[in-house]
Amino acid sequence: MRPILISCHTRPVIAVKFNKDGDLFFTGSFDGKVSVFWSEPVERLGTFACDGAVKTMTVTEDSKYIVIGTAINGIFIFEVETGTKVKTIEFSSKIHVRDVEFAMGSQQFFMISYESDEKKQSVVYIYDFESVLNREQPSRRDLVRRDRDHYYRGVWGYLNKTIVLGTQNGIIDVVDTKTGELLLSHRAHVNQITSLAFSPDFSMLITASRDCFAKLLDPETLKEIRVFNAQRPLNSAVISPLMLNEGSPKYHCLVAGGQEARDVTTTATDQGGFEITFYNMIFEREIGSVRGHFGPVHSVAVHPRGHMFVTGSEDGTARVHILDQDYFTPAYD
Amino acid sequence: MEDLHPLELIDFSDVLRNHPEYEAYIEDQKREAKERNDPLLEPKPLFELRWTNRVIVDNLPEVSAEKEDLLIKVLVKVISKAVVPIEPSAVYMPMVDGKSQCFAFITFPDEELAKTAVAKCNGLAFDKKHSLTVVSFDEFDRLMDTPSEYVEPRVFSQKELKSWLTDRRSRDQFVIRHDEFTKVFWNDSISLTPDLITAGPSDKVWTDKYVKWSSQGTYLATLHQRGIVLWGGPNFEEIMRLSHYGVSQIEFSPCERYLMTYSSGPSGQFIHWSLEKGEEIRTFQANDEPWGTYLYSYNGEFVAKKGNEMISVYNSETMAMIEDNEGKKAPIAIPQLAEFSWSTGDNIISLHIRESEAKPAQVRLLAVPSRELIATRMVYEALGFYSFWQNNGEFLVSMVTTKHRNNPKPKNSIIEIFYMKKRGIPVESLNLDFVVSNFSWEPNSNRFALIYSGAHSAKTLVVYEVGKEKMETKKIDQCDTKCSTIAWAPQGGHLVTYSFAAKNNTEGRIEFFCVKNQTLYQIEERVHMNMNYLEWDPSGRYISVGSLQGIQQRATQQQGSGYVIFTCQGSDVTQAALEKFYQFSWRPRPKSILDPQIYDKIVNQLDELAAKYEEEDRQVKRAAREEQKAKEMKMKDEFFSQIHIYREKWINTRDERAQILKRTDEEEINRWFEKVEPVEEILSVKKEITR
């Protein structure tokens, strides 16, 4: 498998994302740019320029708009097709955006922020997307606040009924979207939760953490189903959509991360743990790994059809991997 | 020392504050509480509960309240006469319902006097009818703890103790300590997962300290705060308890008949035990001497201790010092003594004598117990020297690093080979033109390997062969290596060179070599993160490496924490990633008692025998595969029953989903489709005339 190397960013690539149809993917970097590509063949379409380091982004289901969260410069909304900046939501410099994500149906999105004022709280807001586009002052709802142990990542629950939030110290909170009531709080990890993702049919939740474990959890009770010990700090874990494949489903997940950037120079590249590992979720078994990056991998995104994936890394590159025909044989089930 | 909090009725606070260790203890507790982020609790103080200066006097006459004073007066008189003058206030006689209970407690000024009182007054006639029974509190506790019913002690036969050697597939055992677990496994190269034998007595933490195998593997010793416990037999049952408060290090004699235990600190002790009787033979106060001061000889017959310019040699059985020519028990005086080591095949001590003004440095060989000097070798311009005994004591290498004249930098190494089995112990000197950084003998062989660093710190591994008949040492072969230390396989033939991780989060390296037909082959090269441990298994087939952490150390997330077992060719057998991984230790085997002729015969028949064993291996493999299959089936069922609920839910809520997405599932799927459009393009047109 020969990857396609994307080196159009000058700083670490922090987020990569496919749109819902899988014909486009986006790479966001600390250099303040989000690039958009055709996925087949891989061809660059253009760049959205933001002022400030990109932290996170999310795309509407119809791929019309992209919402980009930057570290301290607020949220930027672009029209994907034309590249025009539609809207900027600015905050005071004390508000740091941690995560944004569209709900199912793209009617609303949440923003997890950390507010470094006197209160030092982390707040989850829900924005109504229509009002964001049309009104001067977008209507937003203050859903939940947390004083200590701040939220870092979040994901919408099934049918937008809940939001699942992961904290700096490894706790997962499930919050009711309507009332903001805390439904469940569970200590899943002992260190920062760096990624939360549901399987495409919402039957499983996968978490990745800096404590070197990725865990497959029951989406409602948060009970552990499988535990993957990757022996390196993890930044991202996703479930391959091939599990819904009729005929030959593949219950695989992709896990990536690596030693923190400040430790990297002390090790040889093959010990940094920068590879992307495939696990069989049924047997909790490692199937194989894909090497290539020479810095920790920040984000992994799988094509909705499961035949390719994109990774973004601290080394400033994104890599597009198109899986070999071999992978689709029963040998890798 | 006991925790006193349960005894809340007695106020010990004043006594405790005056205790010499009180301040230090409180500081410790505060620091620990800070680390745990606890609110500062009032720390629980420790207190000595042994009442060493008090005795119990029993078998006194029974008297009423009126005569109480009189009896005490008489008792004081008797004790004062026999031991030391005491005051009546030192006697406490409990009275119940106005009657004495026939016993009293007496407090003496110190422990020694209390001991004298027990020795002198026990059995002393008090009056015509009564003779006193005087016991110390320690003795009293012992008597009270003795169970009233006699239980036959379990006697372990040699067959039971050595049962692990009779394993059908001659596997080896190892013990690991991680977190609160202590587990003993069979190393199984065929089923690829170690086979758990025991994790200690059920529902109990086996030990929270280290464990140690005895030198021939018969016992497993677990260290505890109050002493050590020896375990053995097929199911690891308790064999013996030896109490030594605060024990931190232990060493079995090579014959497994004796044991040395050590506790550090101001009141540290070395205790020499007899394992046959389970009794202490002699206790030495440590006086700040480090562990390793006392060393056993090759067969455990003698124990030697290095003192200041002298060596004390004791007979292990009695722990009496060996006598000199005049029959006097005295240490052996050796001026300018630097180091000493026991031979591994005879009761011989090798000594390093420091350079003095008039004399050069020396290597001396001293026979024990005759104290006879059997060889001496002068060494000039020595910077440092080290002894290496071949494991059967056939050869001794004394390696000397020489220096330049008037310059303290090392110049080169000289290897002095002592032929211990030849008459008169001749010495061959090998003058090398480099400085040797590591040296190791091949076990049961006449070969040795060494590593030296050349220019640009490039390291070279060299193997030499010492002449068996003639005194002639030849170089066999050499190879480049990146590692600094040599470890030969216990059965010879293979060796590895290794380097531990230099600092946190770096990798350790192992290189596998094999010596065959006078050639040194490099087979494989492996790395392990944070490697700080390496050990060959006793058969020389496998090697374990790992990343350990200290028990006292705070748990850290380290890469590579856990162990890996490689074959001697460098391929993986098994690996385990364990947090809080403290110890890994192979169970040693006793020396082979096989006749060399039978050994050769087996080697010659290896091809025929191999077929039989391969068939057995195949069967084990098949069984392991089937077990794995069954396990996977179970996992599969579990997994699908888990996600089935949510899959149902997904199907049942399609309407709700469609409402949110404003599309049904069918529309969702048919939202886009692939269309193939052939495009024809004529690149160029060329005309050619063909004939």
Q: Tell me: the pLDDT tens digits for A8-36?
A: 899 999 999 999 888 899 999 999 999 99
In which band, very low, low, confident or very high, does the pLDDT at B39 lie, cut at 50, 70 and 90? very low
In which band, very low, low, confident or very high, does the pLDDT at B222 lie, cut at 50, 70 and 90? very high
Q: Where are the alpha helices (DSSP H) in A163-306?
A: none
In which band, very low, low, confident or very high, does the pLDDT at B203 lie, cut at 50, 70 and 90? low
In which band, very low, low, confident or very high, does the pLDDT at A162 lie, cut at 50, 70 and 90? very high
Q: Answer yes or no: is pLDDT of B108 > 90.
A: no
Residues in Cβ contact with B319 at an 8 Å cutoff, skipping those fewer than 6 apart: B272, B281, B282, B303
Q: Tell me the average pLDDT across A259-274.
A: 64
Q: Answer yes or no: is pLDDT of A239 > 70.
A: yes
Question: How do beta strands A13-18 and A252-257 pair?
Answer: unpaired
Lowest mean pLDDT among B139-148, B227-236, B663-672: B663-672
Residue B48 has a pLDDT of 58
Residue B12 has a pLDDT of 64
Strand locations in A129-251, DSSP E?
140-146, 151-156, 162-167, 171-176, 182-187, 193-198, 205-209, 213-217, 224-229, 234-239
Q: Which residues of B touch A282 (CB under 8 A)?
A: 632, 635-636, 639
| Paired tokens of B180 | 């609160």
Report the gap between the CA of B630 and the closest CA in chain A (Å): 12
Q: How far apart are CA B54 and CA B591, in angstroms?
A: 51
Q: How far apart are CA B184 and CA B231, in angstroms?
A: 12
Of A203, A231, A263, the CB nearest to B643: A203
| Paired tokens of B109 | 């000024």
Query: Do the Cβ atoms of A104 and B657 come within 8 Å?
Result: yes
Average pLDDT, chain A: 88
Query: Do the Cβ atoms of A160 and B660 come within 8 Å?
Result: yes
Chain B nearest-CA residue for A61: B661
DSSP bridge pairs for B395:
B419
Residue B10 has a pLDDT of 57
Return the higher-pLDDT residue of B40 and A151: A151
The most confident of A241-245, B505-509, B511-515, by mean pLDDT: B511-515
Lowest mean pLDDT among B26-35, B209-218, B320-329: B26-35
CB A298 within 8 A of CB A322: no
Query: Do the Cβ atoms of A268 and B505 come within 8 Å?
Result: no
Question: CA B172: distance to chain centroid?
Answer: 17
The most confident of B406-410, B461-465, B559-563, by mean pLDDT: B461-465
Which of B628, B643, B654 should one mutate to test binding to chain A, selecting the residue with the greatest count of A CBs within 10 A? B643
Q: Answer yes or no: is pLDDT of B441 > 90.
A: yes
Strand locations in B264-393, DSSP E?
269-274, 279-285, 294-296, 302-307, 310-315, 332-333, 337-342, 348-353, 361-367, 373-379, 382-389
Q: Tell me the average pLDDT across B622-627.
A: 88
In which band, very low, low, confident or very high, does the pLDDT at B647 lie, cut at 50, 70 and 90? confident
Strand locations in B30-148, DSSP E?
46-47, 54-58, 91-92, 95-96, 99-100, 104-107, 133-136
3-state SS, residue B149: coil
Residue B13 has a pLDDT of 66
Structural domain A4-332, CATH architecture: 7 Propeller (2.130)
Q: To the nearest whole percent, how much of chain A has pLDDT over 70?
A: 97
Provide the CATH topology of domain B54-145. Alpha-Beta Plaits (3.30.70)
Chain B within 8 Å of A92 (Cβ-Cβ)? no
Residue A307 neighbours by CB distance under 10 Å: 19
Report the gap between the CA of B318 and the closest CA in chain A (Å): 53
DSSP bridge pairs for A175:
A163, A182
Residue B37 has a pLDDT of 58
Q: Closest Cα partner for A241 from A48, A24, A18?
A: A18
CB A83 within 8 A of CB A46: yes
CB A261 within 8 A of CB A273: no
Q: Answer yes or no: is pLDDT of B44 > 60.
A: no
Lowest mean pLDDT among A161-175, B296-310, B668-682: B668-682
